Amino acid sequence: MLNEEQFEKARIYGIDKTNLKIAKEFYSMTLTSIILYKRWISVAWEKSEGIAEIFNISPKQEILISCTFMTFVTLFNFVTNMPFSIYGTFVLEQKHGFNKQTVGFFIKDQLKSLVLSLVITLPVVSMAIYIIMLGGKMFVVWLWLFTTVTTLLLLMLYPSVIAPLFDKFVPLSDGSLRTAIENLASKLKFPLTQIYIVEGSKRSAHSNAYFSGLFGAKRIVLFDTLLEKVDEDKKVTTGCTESEILGVLAHELGHWSCSHIYKSIALTEVNLLLLFTAFGALFRYSMLYMALGFPQGQEPIIIGLIVVLQLILAPYNSLLSFFATALSRKFEFEADNFAVSLNYSKELRSALIKLGKDNLDFPIYDKLYSAWYHSHPTLLHRIENIQNLIKEQKKES
């Protein structure tokens, strides 16, 4: 599968990514501790009131002050996370040959993300606060319904509105690959409307494929890095053959066939209802706000949301993250099984090996570590699963 040189490259890349992740988590924990100890949350709220006063906005207009506060928070997170983004892109990814971004492209990408975050966050936060203010004893239900509708709307808008803001999508030209994909979709009665190639090579050398579209018509998206690349000597260097791409897509369509997206959405909505219920029971405790430096009687709703959902419920969120990871791994195996059932076992196995090499995915991890941190099973586990399924098919035949 991997020769000694490729294995060593994947090992070093995995270590570098892990070290960056450890540093980022340690930095985040330290920064959070400083923010709580110095009571910077109440300071930021006070500054937000000061800015609002400049525009003759009364302190009683909590929604507008909350928007100012959230702008502060978003900008603060943007600035404090920027060193890690820069290092990850221009040092780590560059070192291992994956980064394809220019400085200008990176800056434009980051600014787009910042503006989009504010455009989405501020109206959602405003509406959530308004619902909590006026929802009475039933505000948890109304807040949950609002977030459900908002989530579904964003999922529907993402493929056609949000994603094109960052990447260029070009329809796959007519040819044998397009015909084969259309035949596969037709065979499975997958409601395919278009097949796109996304120019992911402008950002990274990593490759991927996915389908999008929440209800009804759907589109298949292939990263241009997934397609075979040849060097000057006409030797294939990276990417997959057409049959291997079909194996990858058989896996992706397995997610559709097994309704993994809808199951994930359903579980997310159950989790949101539990979170909002906990918030409704806890956010009126005055000590929460006084501990952060707020004067007695001042209890901004947005502060309650942040404290309860992110700090008080942190142990629950960690446990939930583990179960979400376990569920994701289960879904990946089910999608692989689906591809094998369509007789794409050899193509999928070959594609996984090639993509593992191209993306420098280290194939060996401790099982407990992988179960906690990896949303996808390791390459060896997936190949082992495919081989076991092939053996079962041979026994049955």
Residue for token pair 């999008």: 212
The residues with which 5 forms a beta bridge, in sequence order, are none
Please tell me whether residue 68 adopts helix, strand or coil conformation.
helix
CB 193 within 8 A of CB 218: yes
Q: Which region, left, alpha or beta, applies to residue 27 given φ > 0 means left and ψ of -120 to 50 means alpha?
A: alpha
Q: Does the annotation flag 260 for ligand binding?
A: no
With vertex at residue 319, the alpha carbon angle to CA 313 and CA 321, rounded to the nearest 5 degrees, is 100
The encoded tokens of residue 204 equal: 């990274």
Angle of helix 139-157 versus helix 260-282 axis, rounded to 10:
150
Please tell me whether residue 216 adopts helix, strand or coil conformation.
coil
Between CA 295 and CA 357 the distance in angstroms is 57
Entry field: residues in the chain: 397
Q: Does the annotation flag 251 for ligand binding?
A: yes
Q: Which residues are catalytic?
A: 252, 336
Q: Where are the alpha helices (DSSP H) in the chain?
A: 4-38, 40-54, 62-87, 94-95, 103-134, 139-157, 176-188, 242-257, 260-282, 286-290, 301-306, 314-341, 345-358, 367-373, 379-396
Q: Does the annotation flag 332 for ligand binding?
A: yes
Contacts of 25 (CB under 8 A, 6+ apart): none
Residue type, 83: P
Binding site as annotated, residues for Zn(2+) = 251, 255, 332
